[in-house]
Amino acid sequence: MYLADHTWEELGDYFERESLALVPLGSTEQHGPHLPEATDHLIAEALAREAAERTGYLCTPTVNVGVSSHHRQFHGTMWVDPPAFRDYVASFTRNLAYHGIDRVVYVNAHGGNVQHLREVGGRLHESGDAYCLEWMWDESIPDLVSDLFAYNGPHAGPKETAMIMHLRPDLVREDRLEAARDGGWVDFTYDAACVNGARTFYDCVENADNGAFGDQTDATAEKGQRLFEAATAQLIELCEWLAAREAAELLPRPHV
């Protein structure tokens, strides 16, 4: 059920019987020479709307711009400052709570949003406004990602490439897959980019001149469909688990 497609009367019927909403969040940022800047928000919206369609839960409009200043050196990347992002997400979540939503799944597809969504969730839990969970699609299916790709990369790699091949093949520059691989860092690991346990980089460009990691030539639409179906199943199970919780279970525990 997509919120923006319905009238206020129809939405009132939903709020009378349900108290859960899915909020897709992504980014508008560089994804190498082969993927569109819409990559993250396309993935987040597709997963959230598919889960909502299959379950009947409410899906809100997508937050398309996130915390992405670490990609700012690349043309067209958009971002908001972390405090503004956190305050914005907290504000519209309280808006949902005003209508009767007391549990929210942030359907996230951008790593730069993770820590900020978790902070917002903690803030709203502490205040008792709502119980919010940050859900990152690839973190829900790590074994499948590892099985499908030898070098999956943390950004603009084959897992995201495969997902966009499945969702929007018209936006994938398949003639640039080898360039993405050869101009990036194929076997990147965070440990390899650290010195004596300290992460010494702040911006993506410090590790990959073209902004891409992993082996993009290993991606296919078929693999993307497998990722999409597996992640959707995980998201649906999470929603069902959250919906089944008693409201009292979601409130902060009293002082010992």
When pLDDT is averaged across residues 27-49 and rounded to a whole number, the result is 98
Q: Is the pLDDT of residue 199 over 90?
A: no
Backbone angles phi, psi at 222, to 5 degrees: -65, -45
Distance CA 187, CA 168 (A): 26
Q: In which band, very low, low, confident or very high, does the pLDDT at 213 lie, cut at 50, 70 and 90?
A: very high
Per the CB < 8 A criterion, the answer to whether 210 and 32 are in contact is yes
pLDDT at residue number 21: 98
When pLDDT is averaged across residues 91-100 and rounded to a whole number, the result is 97
pLDDT at residue number 86: 98
Distance CA 66, CA 156 (A): 16
Q: Is the pLDDT of residue 83 over 90?
A: yes
CA distances from 116 to 81, 105, 110, 233 (A): 11, 14, 11, 25
Q: Is the pLDDT of residue 118 over 90?
A: yes
Where do the domains of the chain lie?
3-250
Q: What residues contact 216, with CB distance under 8 A and at least 6 apart?
A: 32, 34, 153, 156, 157, 158, 161, 177, 178, 180, 181
Q: Which of 230, 231, 39, 224 is nearest to 149 (CA)?
A: 224
Q: Average model confidence (pLDDT) for the chain?
A: 96
Q: Is the pLDDT of residue 192 over 90?
A: no
Distance CA 116, CA 134 (A): 9
Distance CA 107, CA 213 (A): 23
CATH architecture observed for domain 3-250? 3-Layer(aba) Sandwich (3.40)
For 129-145, the pLDDT digits (tens) are 999 999 999 999 999 99
For 226-241, the pLDDT digits (tens) are 999 999 999 999 999 9
pLDDT at residue number 189: 87
